[in-house]
Amino acid sequence: MNGFSSPARVGALAAVMAGFIVAASPAQADRVEKHFAVQNKPKITVRNSSGRIQVKAWSKNEVLVAWTNKSGKSVVETEEAGNRVEVATRQDEDGLTAEDSKTDFEITVPVESELNVRTDSGNVTVDSVHGDMTFDTVGANLQLSDVNGYLVVKTIDGSLVCNRCSGKLEANSISGNVSMVDPALESVRVQTSSGNIYFDGSFQSRGIYIMKNFSGTIEVHFSSNDSFDVNATSLKGDVINQASFKPDTHGNAHPASKWGHSLFGTMNEGHAKVELSSFSGTIKILKRD
Amino acid sequence: MQCEQFEQILEQQDDGTLPKPALAHLETCEACRALSADIYAIHDLGLELGAVGTEPPERVWISLRNQLEAEHLILGQPSVRRTEIKGGRGWWTALQRPAIAGAFLGLVLAAVSAIGYLSNFAPTAVQSELTVQQEVSAVPTADSVFKEEVLTVGSDSIPGLQRQDTAVTDSLRRNLQIVDNFIALCEKSVREQPDNRMAREYLYGAYQQKAELLATATNRSMPGGLQ
């Protein structure tokens, strides 16, 4: 008889393997959930120092806040007052590492909700929420998809990706990139110092689009149906243009600047206003394929 | 009345009431009007913010005040001790909040910028150039006090900084360096091309960005800074 197949040996082997599996698995962090009944358009405030924050929408008049803190050393405080829900992390102990204080959030809110998120590090994603939003981060990257509202973003070196965003966007960063893909934004005011700015979408009639950086690239894609006035200036860099602009016919004289490279012109009727400005970066105005 | 006298009166008065000679000077001096408006804006902001926030170490304010006095951005009153101006009466008290320290610095920079900008309309090119050089050289020296404090982020000497995320600290330091580099480039451009308005706007923008970054760093480094 083959000794390896004896029931006792199989049992012992299984026990040893189970021990390895348990030892190799990280401690399963407890997931905590809290539900808050709200009316339409609640205001949700999230304060977190480190960790991922995911916000998505549902049709219920309820806010679901779920979080995980692997170390168990971070305290999450919640508060509900009327139609306002606040969530904040707190560290009671001194000397905690970023990993200790890392808390991941999954928050589900009514579609029409107002968001106020402040975090230092860790990514923030927001999907399909319609309402005004403010984000204040240091290094956290931000991804907004299918959101609509007055969007205010402030980061130090976190990047912003805005997919199919509509409404108004104000974004300020020092070294973060800002990307707007297929937006329906009627107002854009984006400024970053060393980051790149990317805009690929339609310019809304009467929309105002101001994009400014110091040293990165500003890349704007347009279609031949777009209607906008453009004013692009790079003091030390280049302006690369694929559009056939006609001279600005809206009354503003644009004498050629003796400093840097400038481009002024009108596409179609010039319904939107586009201002692109860089100190030493390259500005690209490219035709969409 | 000269501008220096006006500034002295402005700093000393607490209740917002200016004497007649100062009011008369205000009517004729655009620079002092701008300065006065900025000071009152800071004062109002300080009152709005109330007592929120935690005071940073006293040495920050002492060194900042000394630096501003040394650069004649404010007038010195060596005999006035900090304990004597407590109680929320003076505008300087309102400035002793980390959240508005950056705003204050920004407004000071804006005030200096505005004065410098107006001065550029002086009749001679020599005066214009001098003004440019003065504003470029004076402002960064003032905020170097804050810079020094920010570079201590992560040290144990300031309460609450021990638990600062090192990634965040590194990010703040790195971006401070980025902004400093931009300021240096802008200053160079402004020196080389004093009538280049765009370069000047970028310089002011970089100063403002630095002030905001320092305010963020201060807020983030305080206990409860995320609150």
Q: To the nearest whole number, what is the mean pLDDT of chain B?
A: 63
> Which tokens belong to B59?
């040495």
A46, pLDDT greater than 50: yes
B174 within some domain: yes
Residue type, B61: W
Contact B153, B221 (CB under 8 A): yes
Q: Is B195's Cβ below 8 Å from some Cβ in A?
A: no
Contact A251, A210 (CB under 8 A): no
B8 within some domain: yes
What is the C-alpha separation between B45 and A27, in angstroms, rounded? 48
Q: Per residue in A199-249, pLDDT tens?
A: 999 999 999 999 999 999 999 999 888 999 999 999 999 999 998 888 877
* A101/B163 Cβ within 8 A: yes
User: How far off is chain B from A22, nearest CA to CA, in Å?
Assistant: 31
Q: Domain range holding B12?
A: 3-221
B55 within some domain: yes
B188 within some domain: yes
Instruction: Using the Cα atoms of residue B73, residue B77, residue B83 and residue B85 in order, give the sign of their dihedral.
Output: negative
Residues of chain A neighbouring B202 (CB-CB closer than 8 A) = 214, 235, 279
B226 within some domain: no
What percentage of chain A has pLDDT greater than the value 70? 87
Say how many domains are in chain B: 1
Q: Is B172's Cβ below 8 Å from some Cβ in A?
A: yes
Q: How far is CA B192 from CA A87, A270, B60, B122, B132, in A?
A: 51, 36, 34, 19, 10
**B188, B105, B185: which is closest to B149 by C-alpha?**
B105
B130 within some domain: yes
* A49/B165 Cβ within 8 A: yes
Residues of chain B neighbouring A74 (CB-CB closer than 8 A) = none
SS3 A23: helix
Residue A31's beta-bridge partner residues? Answer: A68
What value of ipTM does the predicted structure carry? Answer: 0.81
Query: What is the C-alpha radius of gyration for chain A, rounded to an integer number of angstroms?
Result: 25
B120, pLDDT greater than 50: no
User: How far off is chain B from A45, nearest CA to CA, in Å?
Assistant: 11
Contact A171, A160 (CB under 8 A): yes
Q: What is the pLDDT of residue B92?
A: 40
So where are chain A's domains? Answer: 141-289
Q: What is the pLDDT of residue B174?
A: 93
Q: What is the pLDDT of residue B19?
A: 83
- pLDDT category at B30 given cuts 50, 70, 90 is confident
* A194/B167 Cβ within 8 A: no
B185, pLDDT greater than 90: yes
Q: Per residue in A62-100, pLDDT tens?
A: 999 999 998 888 899 999 999 999 999 988 777 777 788
Q: Is B186's Cβ below 8 Å from some Cβ in A?
A: yes
Token look-up 């917002």 returns B16
User: Within chain B, how many helices (H) and strands (E) appear?
Assistant: 9, 0
Q: How far is CA B117 from CA B34, B121, B132, in A?
A: 12, 7, 8
Q: Is B216's Cβ below 8 Å from some Cβ in A?
A: yes
Q: What are residue B218's phi and psi, to 5 degrees?
A: -65, -45
Residue A63 has, within 13 A of its CA and on its CB side, a CA count of: 30
Calculate the CA dihedral of residues A254, A256, A260, A263 and round it to 10 degrees. Answer: 50
Contact A93, A30 (CB under 8 A): no
Residues of chain A neighbouring B174 (CB-CB closer than 8 A) = 157, 175
Q: To the nearest whole number, what is the mean pLDDT of chain A?
A: 88
State how beta strands A74-81 and A43-50 pair: unpaired
B12, pLDDT greater than 80: no
